[in-house]
Amino acid sequence: MDKDELVEYFRTQVRQDPEVPSAVAAIRTLLEFLKRDQTGETILGLRENLTQTIRRLEEADSSVAVSSGGELFLRFISLTSLEHPDLSQCKKVMVERGELFLKKISLSRSKVAKLCHTFIKDGAKILTHSSSRVVLKVLESAAADKKRFTVYVTESQPDSAGRQMADKLQNLNIPVTVVLDAAVGYIMEKVDLVIVGAEGVVESGGIINKIGTYQLAVCSKAHNKPFYVVAESFKFVRLYPLNQQDVPERFKYKADTLKAVEDLAEEHPMIDYTPPSLITLIFTDLGVLTPSAVSDELIKLYL
Amino acid sequence: MPGADKEADLTERIEAFLADLKRGGCGTGPIRGSGETARETTALLRKVTAQARWSSAGDLMEIIRKEGRRMTAAQPSETTVGNMVLRVLKIIREEYARSRGSSEETDQQESLHKLLTSGGLSEENFRQHFVHLKANVIEAINELLTELEGTTDNIAMQALEHIHSNEVIMTVGRSRTVEAFLKDAARKRKFHVIVAECAPFCQGHEMATNLSKASIETTVIADAAIFAVMSRVNKVIIGTQTVLANGGLRAVNGTHTVALAARHHSTPLIVCAPMFKLSPQVLYGQFLRPHGLVFALTCTILSKVNVHCPVFDYVPPELITLFISNIGGNAPSYIYRLMSELYHPEDHDL
């Protein structure tokens, strides 16, 4: 399966089902590659091909989620190949387990929503940032549970994703107000809690998310409001940034910008890093975790 | 018929226990300390295991869950009851896994690793019958009981490492664990204790009396004086009713004030809590109980005034320095790990 076909497959996945998380689409693409790959004769060769494929996918969609999905898949290959050194049998087992894994993680979002919606009390005022499908699912579950709450969404420039979130929430009959990104400090005294999604959860327990999340976290800490993050477990990524500069450039900008522009210093970054000290709890499909528990999970997987 | 007698006896004991629990939270605090409650609960669950009719681990777990739900419904604020039920459920799972000979017992938790490597949706329904399961479970519950009996001593044994001579220690209200802790240190060290009286029940007075009987220099202060006195305190050592899963506390009313005052003066806050107080709950908010206190107010405004007297306080984990439990000292950020060793995630909501 050649590289362009792969990228097309990935794009089709995302187009057909806009709800699918990008990491899941990436893993599905890689599994498809695995099924169709005839050229590999050794496991090392297979890994090489996969690494190149992942790099190609990252060029198509530079988000952290695709990178974490790719790494997870590589890890999955390594773990399976340790048990079955024979390539053909290994491939069979990989394909089976891969399908099972995909089935499990497609349920992750509902698991997260089930855990989180009990933290939303009647009459709560929630602040969220930009457009996150996981947060939408959480709010949907809370609304289905007959809870009454209001939502404030930040507009989230430069792509005004917040307005799309507001539209989706209005379709669910949840009272929602769009606020300017600059109005976060102004609105913070009114809200009871802040819930955001994450594009990636890093090893320290911090998160990488749409630009503006860090500001939101600092404000909520200053006002002593709980700051909750909802993320599926496949978003855990092996990065350990200590500040904003440590986040790799390839995640900060959109894929097209990275290819087209010469001097990235002139571009506005699309994501920022929120340190774990500002986060109260992280809701994942593995349970409710404190930020310090995240590195434990990653260690269990990678070491 | 001896069988029916035993069953009636069992139900009677459970009813008596439930009645005790219900009465327990009515005024001067619970009738028995939480250690005793934990022991009673475990002993009762052992009796249920021994006498109830069950053929597979799944049945036993259902029975225990049912009884557990009744017991926690009787007194929701007494979390040790629920915790012991969860411990027993975990014991049953472990013994079952051991009988089956599977190596699953070590990694029961959901993890990314499990997601990637598991070869199939493991539908563990605990239906297999094992002859020795009953004996094994009862033995394990006996071990748990021995552990429970030794908790206060285990904690008190660590006192000498944390308390030094000529220190000023502050505590709040009355905790049997802290009392034993301080008494043990007093055998070898000379130090001073300041007890906040903890109105309106003033259990601090009883604590001060007990401590002074053990020849410890004690001073009682009013709750309002906590902040004023804090600058002279070296350490704050408190007990708690429950330790929550995020490392926070649900402790007697006034503890949050002490914690904030300690944080302001950068005084270390040490919590002495045995492992059976660790609860998988995270959110605390809904358990604020307005207490029916009767003030001796004779004026007519009584009808226009609402009297709220919450029994418990939530202390966030950032304010706590160290947890001392029967298995040693731990940081609050490590509590989630201890929880995963004690309880199985599927049992978290009974």
pLDDT band for B350, please (50, 70, 90 cuts): low
User: Chain B: nearest CA to A80, how far in angstroms?
Assistant: 7
User: Chain A: nearest CA to B295, how far in angstroms?
Assistant: 32
- Mean pLDDT for the stretch of residues A159-180: 93
How far is it, in rounded angstroms, from Cα B306 to Cα B302?
A: 8
pLDDT of residue B32: 67
What does the pLDDT look like over B156-202, one tens digit per residue? 999 999 999 999 999 999 999 999 999 999 999 999 999 999 888 88
Instruction: Using the predicted structure, report yes or no on whether residue B235 has a pLDDT greater than 90.
Output: yes
pLDDT of residue A217: 96
The pair phi, psi for residue B57, each rounded to 5°, is -60, -35
- pTM for the complete prediction? 0.84
Cβ within 8 Å of A, B 240-279: 245-247
Output the DSSP codes for B166-223. Answer: T-EEEEES--HHHHHHHHHHHTT---EEEEE--TTTTHHHHHHHHHHHTT-EEEEE-G
Partners of B121 on chain A (C-beta within 8 Å) are: 100
Q: Does B295 touch chain A (CB under 8 A)?
A: no
What separation in angstroms does the CA of B300 have from each of B2, B9, B290, B291, B307?
62, 51, 21, 21, 14
Specify which residues A149 forms β-bridges with. A124
Q: Which residues of A255-285 are buried (b: 16+ CB within 10 A; e: fewer)?
A: beebeeeeeeeeeeebbbbbbbebbbbbbbb
* Contact check, Cβ <8 Å, B115/A104: yes
Q: Does B330 touch chain A (CB under 8 A)?
A: no
User: Chain A: nearest CA to B262, how far in angstroms?
Assistant: 18
Q: Residue A185: what residue type?
A: G
pLDDT of residue B27: 39
The pair phi, psi for residue A249, each rounded to 5°, is -60, -30
Using CA coordinates, name the residue in chain B closest to A302. Answer: B113
pLDDT of residue B123: 57
pLDDT band for A210, please (50, 70, 90 cuts): very high
Peptide bond into A85 cis (omega under 30): no
CB B308 within 8 A of CB B271: no
User: Chain B: nearest CA to A239, how far in angstroms?
Assistant: 16
Q: What is the DSSP letter of A64?
A: H
Give ∠ CA A64-A235-A72 in degrees, rounded to 5.
90
Please enumerate in sequence order all residues whose Cβ is within 8 A of that of B28, keeping only pairs 6 or more positions apart, or say none: B201
Using CA coordinates, name the residue in chain A closest to B316. Answer: A280
pLDDT band for A260, please (50, 70, 90 cuts): confident
User: Chain B: nearest CA to A277, how far in angstroms?
Assistant: 10
Name which of B111, B116, B246 is nearest A286 (Cβ-Cβ): B111
Q: Residue A116: what residue type?
A: C
Proportion of chain B above pLDDT 70, given as a percent: 83
Q: Does B123 touch chain A (CB under 8 A)?
A: no
- Radius of gyration of the CA atoms of chain B, in A: 22
Lookup: tokens for A274: 């929120």
How far is it, in rounded angstroms, from Cα B195 to Cα B183?
A: 14
* Contact check, Cβ <8 Å, B345/A287: yes
* Contact check, Cβ <8 Å, A79/B112: no
Q: Which residues of A144-156 are buried (b: 16+ CB within 10 A; e: fewer)?
A: eeebebbbbbbbb
How far is it, in rounded angstroms, from Cα B278 to Cα B249?
A: 9
Give which of A290, A294, A303 to mutate to test B binding, by max B Cβ within 10 Å. A290
- In the three-class reduction of DSSP (H, G, I as helix; E, B as strand; rest coil), residue A251 is classed as helix
Instruction: Using the predicted structure, report yes or no on whether residue A79 has a pLDDT greater than 50.
Output: yes
Output the DSSP codes for B31-42. Answer: SS-HHHHHHHHH
Tokens 């990104």, located at residue: A181
What does the pLDDT look like over B98-147, one tens digit per residue? 887 765 544 555 666 766 666 555 556 777 777 788 888 899 999 999 99
Which residues from A are below 8 Å from B when comparing CB atoms? 72, 75-76, 79-80, 93, 96-97, 100-101, 104-105, 118-119, 121, 233-234, 236, 281, 285-290, 292-293, 296-298, 300-301
Name which of A97, A119, A301 is nearest B112 (Cβ-Cβ): A301
Name which of B109, B115, B337 is nearest A101 (Cβ-Cβ): B115
Instruction: Using the predicted structure, report yes or no on whether residue A145 has a pLDDT greater than 60.
Output: yes
Partners of B334 on chain A (C-beta within 8 Å) are: 292
Q: Does B341 touch chain A (CB under 8 A)?
A: no
What does the pLDDT look like over A51-64, one tens digit per residue? 888 888 888 877 88
Lookup: tokens for A26: 């990436």
Name which of A75, A287, A293 is nearest B116 (Cβ-Cβ): A75
- In the three-class reduction of DSSP (H, G, I as helix; E, B as strand; rest coil), residue B139 is classed as helix
- List the one residue out of A293, A211, A300, A294 whose CA is nearest residue A247: A211
Lookup: tokens for B168: 């000023």
Q: What is the DSSP letter of B236?
A: E
How far is it, in rounded angstroms, from Cα A175 to Cα A172?
A: 9
Proportion of chain A above pLDDT 70, given as a percent: 99
Mean pLDDT, chain A, rounded, equals 87
How far is it, in rounded angstroms, from Cα B179 to Cα B169?
A: 12
User: Chain B: nearest CA to A53, how far in angstroms?
Assistant: 20
- List the one residue out of A277, A228, A273, A276 whose CA is nearest residue A251: A273
pLDDT band for B291, please (50, 70, 90 cuts): very low
Output the DSSP codes for B97-135. Answer: HHHHT-GGGG--S--HHHHHH--S----------TTHHH
Which of A22-31, A37-46, A183-192, A214-223 is predicted least confidently? Answer: A37-46
Using CA coordinates, name the residue in chain B closest to A233. Answer: B112
Proportion of chain B above pLDDT 90, given as a percent: 41
Q: How far is CA A267 from the centre of its chain?
A: 23
pLDDT of residue B12: 84
- Mean pLDDT for the stretch of residues B31-58: 85
Lookup: tokens for B327: 């298995």
C-alpha dihedral sign at B136, B138, B144, B146: negative
User: Chain A: nearest CA to B110, how far in angstroms?
Assistant: 6
* Contact check, Cβ <8 Å, B118/A234: no
How far is it, in rounded angstroms, from Cα B305 to Cα B206?
A: 31
Model ipTM?
A: 0.76
- Mean pLDDT for the stretch of residues A95-118: 85
How far is it, in rounded angstroms, from Cα A171 to Cα A174?
A: 8
